[in-house]
Amino acid sequence: MSEVDQAILREKLDELILEHRDLDDVIHRLQMAGGMEQMQLQRLKKRKLKLKELILKIENQLIPDILA
């Protein structure tokens, strides 16, 4: 993987981590406030899970293969 590709992946990773953290804060605040539709809360949690999966995928791409 070229250095340019790695830089692009790192930038995307930073964006995803920030979005994941922000979404976590939003979910926590909405749960504390109460009165929120469970369906909407489930959607937010699913989005958070998808972000986590994407973060792990990119992190795995950035980690050099030890056996190579």
Does residue 2 sit in helix, strand or coil?
A: coil
Q: What is the 3-state secondary structure (H, E, C) of 21-51?
A: HHHHHHHHHHHHHCCCCHHHHHHHHHHHHHH
Please give the mean pLDDT across all residues of the chain.
90
Read off the pLDDT of residues 33-49 as tens digits, 9 standing for 90 and up.
Answer: 877 688 889 999 999 99
Read off the pLDDT of residues 12-32 as tens digits, 9 standing for 90 and up.
Answer: 999 999 999 999 999 998 888
- Percentage of residues in the chain with pLDDT exceeding 90? 65
Pair of tokens at residue 9? 């992946």
Query: Do the beta carbons of residue 46 and residue 20 sit within 8 Å?
Result: no
pLDDT at 54 over 90: yes
Query: Do the beta carbons of residue 10 and residue 62 sit within 8 Å?
Result: yes
Q: Write down the pLDDT at residue 36.
A: 67
Pair of tokens at residue 33? 């406030």
